[in-house]
Amino acid sequence: MIMDYFLGLDCSTQSLTGILIDFNKKKSIYSYSVNFDKDLPQYKTQNGVYISNGGKVVHSNPLMWIEALELLFSKFIQINLPLEHIKAISGSSQQHGTVYLNSSFESILKKLDSDKTLASQIINVFTRKTSPIWMDSSTTKECEEIRHKLGGMESTIKKTGSNTFERFSGPQIRKFFKQNYDDYLNTSVIHLVSSFLSSILLGKNSPIDHSDGAGMNLMNIETKEWDQKALDATAPNLRLKLPPLISSYEITGTISPYFVEKYKFAPNTLLITWSGDNPNSLIGIGLTTKGRAAISLGTSDTYFAYLKQLNVDLSGEGHVFGAPTGDYMGLVCYKNGSLAREKIRDRFDLTWKEFSKILKNTPPGNNGKIMLPYFFPEIVPLVLKPYVYRFGFDENDLKGNVRAVIEAQFLSMKLHSEWVREEPEEIYATGGASTNLEILQIAANIFNTNIRQFEVTNSAALGAALRSSKSYYDSTKKIVDWTELVSHYLEIQKNVIIKPNRKHSALYNDMLDVYKKCESFVLKDGGDPEQYRKDFIKKYFDK
């Protein structure tokens, strides 16, 4: 029997997941997640992170990610997974986060002792003990400084694919250089979370891939090379501290002897460069051609689509990243995703089942109750000071709040993702909250589009496994076409289509208008939306 197994890993905000796929059977044969809070309580994270400074500073712990990797592999050994049959491995990680390492990092990786843990051997390599991650919004000043040096917003977007954003690696590196100058000088290499974990498996410094590299404000989005102007605007001698950039499908080498000795991987297991979670999800969900879009409802909510051509968002809200196929993807990211939904669930002590039941039994339009759901600082639209605004209800209204948070999230998503949307016929859903059919029904009604729900909700880990199979077969000259590869795989998955209820499309169109007015009232000194809200109530609810 031919056993062509491929492993995809995903280091997300709250967990590290591994999915093993059997290429011949076109299915995932095993998946397991290490939850940072529960399985590694000694790191004292909450939802995988450390929050300080009123929610502005958000870091995580790179040593914890390493321990999670070993826990995951120990689990594989415990249940006798045939790791020796894995042909190739690739990975995915939360985007933008940076890891700062001293000059001993690579030499330590090259002589790892398999009788000891990884964490005990690399504990002293960090020049910054914790890593700023995508939820951090403490670099507004640095964003302004870099944007100014690059000639303003439009030229920053044209150069790097995005305006400067607080969570992007460049502004974060600049803050470190300004505030911890000596530590910056002692830093030999700065990795993304993806290239850091990729280096651990490889046993030496790994390159950064074009897809994740685009989330740094440092890579030129057209040439896909480090942009000297952007580097100079960020911190001195930065080029020397960054790994090289490569295509997302490139093989970086074979697995480090540490993992061969300790976990019995085959010595010739190929490693394919890691990438960001959103680019990986693009593959895991099968978006390798134009005309389809996806929503990922994880810790962050994202809306993204494959782009054949480079098409930037000059309004400055969206991003263009690389796609693992070598093309591009457009993306809009919201920080108030699952954790905002959980705030309401926990405020009323509900289970997800009870939460869903309320969604099912409350009217679309919520009797005109509208929320602006900034439980945490928001990325799109930019809100640095978290506050939850309620129009027509208060925080004690159980049903009103449950429906309002979900409607708000998708109204906002529809409003701010217009530039990347080509009126898709179908939106693919992934991430932890995509298991919730009631949430997806509201999304379908608001977008007025079919939503497709998949059996595998961790499309990032699946995407990494699929990427590794593609690069492996390409290297053996048995070329597999991207679209064919993902479609075979996805066809076999059980998937459910949620259809919009067309009866509500006019209501949601009108509500989008009122939502927009509420947002502009609060964030841009727009006029009072109350009369519009009252008219909306009169039209749909006062009967």
Restricted to residues 159-188, the positions that interact with ligand XUL (CB under 6 A) are: 167
Q: Are 208 and 192 in contact (CB under 8 A)?
A: yes
User: Which of the listed partners (ligand ADP, ligand XUL, none) does 95 bind, with a CB threshold of 5 to 8 Å by partner kind?
Assistant: ligand XUL
Distance CA 325, CA 504 (A): 37
Question: By the 8 A CB rule, do 371 and 401 touch?
Answer: yes
Give the nearest distance from C-beta 338 to ligand XUL in angstroms. Answer: 10
Can you give the C-alpha Rg of the chain in angstroms?
23
- Provide the 10 A C-beta neighbour count for residue 117: 15
Give SS3 for 349.
coil
Task: Kindly tell me which of 142 and 277 has the beta carbon lying closer to ligand XUL.
Answer: 277
Count of CB atoms situated within 10 Å of the CB of 79: 8
Using CB under 6 A as the binding rule, the residues of this chain from 349 to 378 that contact ligand XUL are none
- For residues 183 and 241, is the Cβ–Cβ distance under 8 A? no
Beta carbon of residue 339, minimum distance to ligand XUL (angstroms, whole number)? 12
Nearer of residues 302 and 471 to ligand XUL, judged by Cβ: 302
* Residue whose C-beta lies closest to ligand ADP: 432
Which pair of tokens denotes residue 110? 């090259």
Among 14, 95, 254, 366, binds ligand XUL (CB under 6 A): 95
Residue 167 interacts with which of ligand XUL, ligand ADP, none, CB < 5 to 8 Å by class: ligand XUL
Residues 374-404 as b/e (b if ≥16 CB within 10 A, e otherwise) read bbbbbbbbbbeebebbbbbbeeebebbbbbb
What is the SS3 assignment for 322?
Answer: strand
433 binds, among ligand ADP, ligand XUL, none (CB under 5 to 8 A by kind): ligand ADP
Nearest to ligand ADP of 145, 212 (CB atom):
212
Q: DSSP 3-state helix, strand, coil percentages of the chain (rounded to 5)?
A: 45, 20, 35
The answer to whether 220 touches 231, Cβ cutoff 8 Å, is no
In the β-sheet with 57-60, what is the strand arrangement from edge to edge?
Answer: 50-52, 57-60, 131-132
Least distance from ligand XUL to the Cβ atom of residue 25, Å: 29
96 binds, among ligand XUL, ligand ADP, none (CB under 5 to 8 A by kind): ligand XUL
Residue 255: CA count within 13 A, CB half-sphere? 22
Q: Which residue number, 169 or 206, has a Cβ lying nearer to ligand XUL?
A: 169
Structure tokens given for 70: 């070993």
Which residues, other chains included, contact 376 with Cβ-Cβ below 8 Å and sequence gap of 6+?
A: 55, 135, 335, 336, 339, 340, 386
Closer to ligand ADP by CB, 164 or 338: give it.
Answer: 338
- Is the CB of 221 or the CB of 379 nearer to ligand ADP? 379
**SS3 per-residue string spanning 271-316:** EECCEEHHHHHHHHCCCCCCCCEEEEECCCEEEEEEECCCCCCCCC
Region binding ligand XUL by CB under 6 A among candidate stretches 68-76, 90-98, 357-365, 499-507: 90-98
Q: Which is nearer to ligand ADP, 66 or 246 (CB)?
A: 66
Report the alpha-carbon distance of residue 383 to residue 453 in Å, rounded: 30
Q: CB of residue 13 vs ligand XUL: minimum separation in angstroms?
A: 6
Closest to 261 in 3D by CA, of 88, 120, 118? 118
Q: Which does 342 bind (CB under 5 to 8 A by kind): ligand XUL, ligand ADP, none?
A: ligand ADP
Q: Pick one of ligand ADP, ligand XUL, none as the site partner of residue 435 (Cβ within 5 to 8 A by kind).
A: ligand ADP
Nearer to ligand XUL, 45 or 127 (CB): 45
Give the DSSP H or E segment for 357: helix 352-361
Residue (330 or 500) nearer to ligand XUL, CB: 330
Q: What x-and-dash track marks residues 319-338 binding ligand XUL by CB under 6 A? A: --------------x-----
Say if residues 428 and 443 touch (Cβ distance below 8 Å): no
432 interacts with, out of ligand XUL, ligand ADP, none, CB within 5 to 8 A per kind: ligand ADP
Contact positions vs ligand ADP (CB under 6 A):
12-15, 298-299, 338, 341-342, 352, 431-433, 435-436
Residue 32 per-residue DSSP state = E
Least separation, in Å, of the C-beta of 506 and ligand XUL?
32
Q: With binding defined as CB under 6 A, does residue 276 bind ligand XUL?
A: yes
Pull the structure tokens for residue 76: 């594989």
Among positions 269, 300, 436, 469, the unique one binding ligand XUL when judged by CB under 6 A = 300
Q: Which two tokens stand for residue 415?
A: 């409003």
Interaction residues for ligand XUL, span 110-149 (CB under 6 A):
134
Chosen from ligand XUL, ligand ADP, none, partner binding at 276 (C-beta under 5 to 8 Å by type) = ligand XUL
Partner in contact with 436, chosen from ligand ADP, ligand XUL, none, beta carbon below 5 to 8 Å by kind: ligand ADP
Query: In this complex, which beta carbon is closest to ligand ADP, that of residue 286 or of residue 431?
Result: 431
Nearer to ligand ADP, 37 or 183 (CB): 37
Q: Which residues contact 105 (CB under 8 A, 6 or more apart)?
A: 122, 125, 188, 189, 199, 205
409 vs 417 by CB, closer to ligand ADP: 409
CB of 215 to ligand XUL, least distance (A): 6
Q: Work out what residue 14 binds among ligand XUL, ligand ADP, none; the CB cut-off runs from 5 to 8 Å by kind.
A: ligand ADP
Query: 471 is in the binding site of which of ligand ADP, ligand XUL, none (Cβ under 5 to 8 A by kind)?
Result: none
**Applying CB under 6 A, which residues contact ligand XUL?**
13, 94-96, 134, 167, 215, 276-278, 298, 300, 302, 333
